[in-house]
Amino acid sequence: MTTFRQHRWQSFLQGYEQRARILISCPDRPGIVAAVTSFLYEQGANIVESSQYSTDPEGGTFFLRLEFDCPNIAERKEEIEAAFAPIAAEFQMRWQLRLHNDIRRIAIFVSKAEHCLLELLWQWQAGELIADIALVISNHPDLRETVESFGIPYVHIPVTKETKADAEAEQIRLLRDYQIDTIVLARYMQILSPAFVAEFPGRIINIHHSFLPAFIGARPYERAYERGVKLIGATSHYVTDDLDEGPIIEQDVARVDHRHHPDDLKRIGRLIEKTVLARALKWHLEDRVIIHGNKTIVFY
């Protein structure tokens, strides 16, 4: 299975060996784009995609994402980063340069609901989700056979109120051992502790239904049905210490009416959840998301 996974990546990445992308945020002022593009030109780069946004041309924050081809970029990455550092310092930039074929290693956390997990596995298997799904961690054993059929390790770590701290310590150990870059909570029905979140800032992505904060707690779809809601949806966001209030990456909704019973709402909700989570993760993996305070700039 490892050979199969590597072959799929190699097939997808063929022809992109010279591609990289740079993400920048900094105080807005004249000359930023000129400085960056001139630098890339001097390095022999050819820009193939460019996106930019300013919160306010007068004293706001400027955001820039550039994708480019550059000869021998893998061998020259550190050299180019060192050469760009003075420009970054001049404009007070927060920035990162990532190779197109720098495949992120991700871990999926799941409980019993399988819809979001399966969507990610199917997209990964089809080559639509370019990542190394290194392992799946669950507080239940139910989905082991499903996950292992994809050739992915499945680790069952039970979590109770009394064992939560030890369970998270074991999870963190595994994430370090597997060199995980990004964590995806695919309907993982446990609240992560602040200590856990602090280990992976800006690297944990969650999904939940959009009834929050109106219908907090158990049986949200039944309560939404009783209230007669007309829209249901889902939100994917980065995890912070503020429960379900981290920077939003993606959202979507569907219209419903009096003919939809609670089971209908759940079915529609599952479809939206898995689609929204897959989009959010894909944009994260493609470096299309910049966190700015408690919101995001997403270059689709």
| Active site members | 244
Q: What angle do CA 112, 178, 1 make, to 5 degrees?
A: 75
Q: Could you give phi then psi for residue 5, rounded to 5 degrees?
A: -65, -45
Distance CA 93, CA 44 (A): 22
Paired sense of beta strands 19-27 and 94-99, if any: antiparallel
| Sign of the CA dihedral running 61, 242, 131, 266 | negative
* Residue 29 CB coordination number (10 Å): 12
Residues in a beta bridge with 248: 237
Q: Which residues contact 157 (CB under 8 A, 6 or more apart)?
A: 137, 138, 139, 167, 170, 171
The owner of tokens 């001049």 is 90
Please check whether residue 62 is in contact with residue 28, taking contact to mean a CB–CB distance below 8 angstroms: yes
In the block, residue with structure tokens 């956390």: 109
Give the position of tokens 């400085």.
35
